[in-house]
Amino acid sequence: MFEKIRELLKPLIKPCFKVIASAQSFSPADAAKTRIGGPAYAGNSAAFPVCLACSKKLTFVFQFRQMPDSNSGELVQFFYCFDCSPCGGKKEDGQWLIRTFKDIIDCSFVDSSDPEHQIPPCKCSFEKINMLPDFESLEEMGHQVVKLCEKVNSDDPWDVYEEACLSINCCVEPVTSIGGYPIWIQGEAEKKCPKCSEKMNFVAQLDSVPEADLMWGDAGCVYLFRCRNHPDQFSLEMQCF
């Protein structure tokens, strides 16, 4: 039965990039690279965003390239208000922001928010890993796997699932990653596009990063989503232990 679980999981595997942060002083040459903290890439003198709720500067948290290993493709930036601390609710518009740049025109940048919330710069390296969906998400895409895991261990089917995932070298723990699947801490949180109501695609998750003095609640994680039909529409979810 365990081998059957493994075989059913293999078609669900998604490759992604695990992001590994290391503290390092900011270099202008890294302005448009995938990284955490420090000054934000500004393109053609893009204005630094402000929280629409408290009017304070948002904090530049993270940016990544569409193809991070080759430092190419669209640049996606994530800004967050640590005073308002949005978690992904419907009434939190303007308390966080995702900004994109399709054409990298130079290495211009701007300093992030006030020193109270500024995130120390971290260089990012990447490891290609395979991911499988969170156990709770399997009800939609791998219902048969859930039933088999429950047959093996009705008290704790998650343990069976985790063992099967690890046996085929797939990550099932929250990490900072680009692509793959969201690994939930408090349970699945589906996001729908406000324009078309379609389910949004998972884009990336940003774990708590000690190297950047970055902590989401109690060792939590932030999840970012994007609509396939309306690429200007993003969504956020923050969960913690």
Q: Which two structure tokens, joined as six digits, stand for 18?
A: 């695990």
β-partners of residue 79 are 60, 97
* pLDDT number for residue 112: 64
* pLDDT number for residue 28: 87
Q: How far is CA 164 from CA 42, 44, 109, 139, 158, in A?
A: 44, 48, 45, 17, 10
Q: Would you say residue 229 has pLDDT above 90?
A: yes
Report how far residue 4's alpha carbon sits from residue 137's, in angstroms, rounded to the nearest whole number.
19
Over the stretch 113-144, which tens digit does the pLDDT of each residue have? Answer: 667 888 999 999 999 999 999 888 887 777 89
Residue owning tokens 């774990």? 207
User: Within 13 Å, how many C-alpha atoms sit on residue 227's CB side?
Assistant: 15
Task: Identify the CATH number of the domain defined by range 14-129+174-239.
Answer: 2.30.320.10
Over the stretch 13-64, which tens digit does the pLDDT of each residue have? Answer: 999 999 999 999 998 888 899 999 999 998 776 778 999 999 999 999 999 9
* pLDDT number for residue 114: 66
pTM of the model: 0.93
In terms of Cα–Cα distance, which of 67, 69, 74 is closest to 41?
A: 74
Q: Would you say residue 91 has pLDDT above 80?
A: yes
Helix axes 2-9, 143-152, angle to 10 degrees: 160
Could you say which DSSP state residue 57 is in?
A: B
The mean pLDDT of the chain is: 91
Sketch the domain layout of the chain as residue ranges.
Answer: 2-13+130-171, 14-129+174-239
Residue 87: CB atoms within 10 A of its CB come to 17
Confidence category of residue 223, pLDDT binned at 50, 70, 90: very high
